[in-house]
Amino acid sequence: NAGVTQTPKFQVLKTGQSMTLQCAQDMNHNSMYWYRQDPGMGLRLIYYSASEGTTDKGEVPNGYNVSRLNKREFSLRLESAAPSQTSVYFCASFKDRGLYEQYFGPGTRLTVT
């Protein structure tokens, strides 16, 4: 039981490049989330998926897209990376209705130059 896994752990992009961050959970959770963490700002919600087949915007969705590929996997895509997207990205999964049994992945540190 690996919990929540994220790939890659580190990534450096040039402005304008695209990439996809991968997240998978093996706990049969319904809800999955993507957050970004910036110094002094806590975690901010980018997108979430309450169940397979649904996605919704969070606080800071601009510049990102998501795909809930199946119940296990939830990916985050940056179509045209900008320096403002330099951050640490965390995926999380929740057992039910987002408020119980939350688990975070280890994070992806992204630098956009």
- How, if at all, do strands 10-13 and 108-112 pair? parallel
DSSP assignment letter at 97: T
User: Does residue 41 interact with other proteins by CB under 8 A?
Assistant: yes
Rounded Cα distance between 31 and 48, Å, is: 7
Could you tell me the smallest distance in angstroms from the CB atom of residue 60 to other proteins? 12
DSSP assignment letter at 15: T
Q: Would you say 73 or 104 has its CB closer to other proteins?
A: 104
Q: How far is CA 92 from the centre of its chain?
A: 7
User: Does residue 2 interact with other proteins by CB under 8 A?
Assistant: no
Could you tell me the smallest distance in angstroms from the CB atom of residue 57 to other proteins? 11
| Lookup result for tokens 């319904």 | 30
Question: Which residue, 75, 90, 100, 98, is CA-closest to 21?
Answer: 75
Encoded one letter per residue, x for contact with other proteins by CB under 8 A and - for no contact, window 87-106 reads: ---x-x----xxx--xxxxx
Q: Would you say 1 or 14 has its CB closer to other proteins?
A: 1
Binding site for other proteins (CB under 8 A): 4, 31, 40-45, 48, 50, 56, 58-59, 90, 92, 97-99, 102-107
